[in-house]
């Protein structure tokens, strides 16, 4: 966090400086220096987006000019360090509060959905709270939790947003059942090879409060899953080659 903040605040000064001269090459980037400068501005602008509402660009410009000219700055280095530390603490507290609200909202939304969904025709609810629906019944064997399987899947959030899909990648995923989220470990053991199921996974059987990437904290997840085959023991080591985007266990943070 401190490195990001330091980079972002430095970047803000650079952007401010570029902004004063922006009109000179807004229409045409003639030289390599112009292009490099503009590229830096674009990159820095993206980095600033998360704190753009926390800074005053006019004040940033004042500090930049004073520092570049070697003039006396309004803050000493020690004072600036204290301001940085206080700001980091404030920003972290703000983001933690936002994540807490998001987690509570997601949890309630998931619970409400599952409470209604369990009465839907064809939906089975297990003792753990996992819900699944048989889309196509297979005739093969069911995997054990010690097996490695090959599947195709598409994962979506409660609002229908797709966050991952082996189908879109055009390559099935291979992984050990003990290496995925609990909802998958349990759900796949209900599936005969050749089946297609729909999983409705409550957050406690998914990623809990540590939702990675687009998956928010306490998010309920839906997966369309096709169990292609149970890997023979000799082929099981290939599980390590499974796509990183597969619905594996969230890293504990």
Which residues have CB under 8 Å from 54's CB, separation 6+?
Answer: 87, 91
Give the active site residue among 14, 132, 147, 153.
153
DSSP 106: H
Which residues have CB under 8 Å from 127's CB, separation 6+?
Answer: none
Give the active site residue among 132, 147, 181, 228.
181
Whether 164 sits among the annotated catalytic residues: the reply is: yes
Whether 153 sits among the annotated catalytic residues: the reply is: yes
Give the active site residue among 38, 87, 113, 163.
163
Q: Which secondary-structure segment (H or E) carries 222?
A: strand 221-230
Pairing of strands 196-201, 221-230: antiparallel
User: What are the φ/ψ torsions at residue 139 (nearest 5 degrees)?
Assistant: -120, 0
- Comparing CA positions, the residue from 118, 193, 103, 99 lying closest to residue 150 is 193
Whether 207 sits among the annotated catalytic residues: the reply is: yes
Give the active site residue among 132, 164, 175, 201.
164
- Comparing CA positions, the residue from 215, 204, 202, 209 lying closest to residue 247 is 215
Strand partners, 1: none
User: What are the φ/ψ torsions at residue 136 (nearest 5 degrees)?
Assistant: -145, 125
Report the 10 Å Cβ neighbour count for 127. Answer: 6
Distance CA 96, CA 120 (A): 36
Whether 228 sits among the annotated catalytic residues: the reply is: no
Tokens of 136: 């196509």
Residue appearing with tokens 């501005």: 41
- Residues annotated catalytic, as ranges: 153, 163-164, 181, 207, 223
């Amino acid at each position: 966090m401190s490195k990001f903040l330091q980079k972002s605040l430095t970047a803000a000064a650079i952007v401010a400086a570029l902004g004063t001269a922006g009109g000179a090459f807004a229409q045409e980037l003639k030289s390599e220096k112009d292009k490099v400068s503009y590229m830096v501005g674009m990159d820095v602008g993206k980095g600033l987006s998360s704190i753009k509402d926390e800074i005053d660009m006019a004040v940033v410009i004042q500090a930049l000019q004073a520092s570049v000219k070697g003039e006396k700055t309004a803050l000493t280095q020690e004072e600036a360090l204290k301001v940085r530390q206080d700001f980091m603490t404030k920003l972290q507290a703000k983001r933690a509060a936002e994540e807490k609200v998001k987690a509570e909202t997601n949890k309630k939304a998931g619970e409400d959905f599952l409470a209604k969904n369990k009465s839907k025709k064809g939906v089975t609810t297990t003792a753990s709270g996992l819900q699944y629906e048989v889309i196509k019944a297979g005739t093969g064997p069911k995997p054990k939790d010690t097996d490695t399987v090959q599947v195709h899947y598409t994962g979506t959030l409660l609002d229908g947003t797709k966050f991952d899909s082996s189908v879109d990648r055009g390559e099935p995923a291979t992984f050990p059942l003990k290496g995925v989220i609990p909802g998958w470990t349990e759900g796949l053991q209900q599936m005969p090879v050749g089946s297609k199921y729909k999983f409705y996974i409550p957050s406690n059987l998914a990623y809990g409060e540590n939702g990675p990437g687009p998956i928010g904290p306490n998010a309920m997840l839906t997966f369309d899953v096709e169990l292609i085959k149970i890997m023979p023991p000799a082929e099981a080591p290939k599980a390590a080659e499974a796509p990183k985007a597969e619905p594996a266990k969230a890293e504990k943070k």
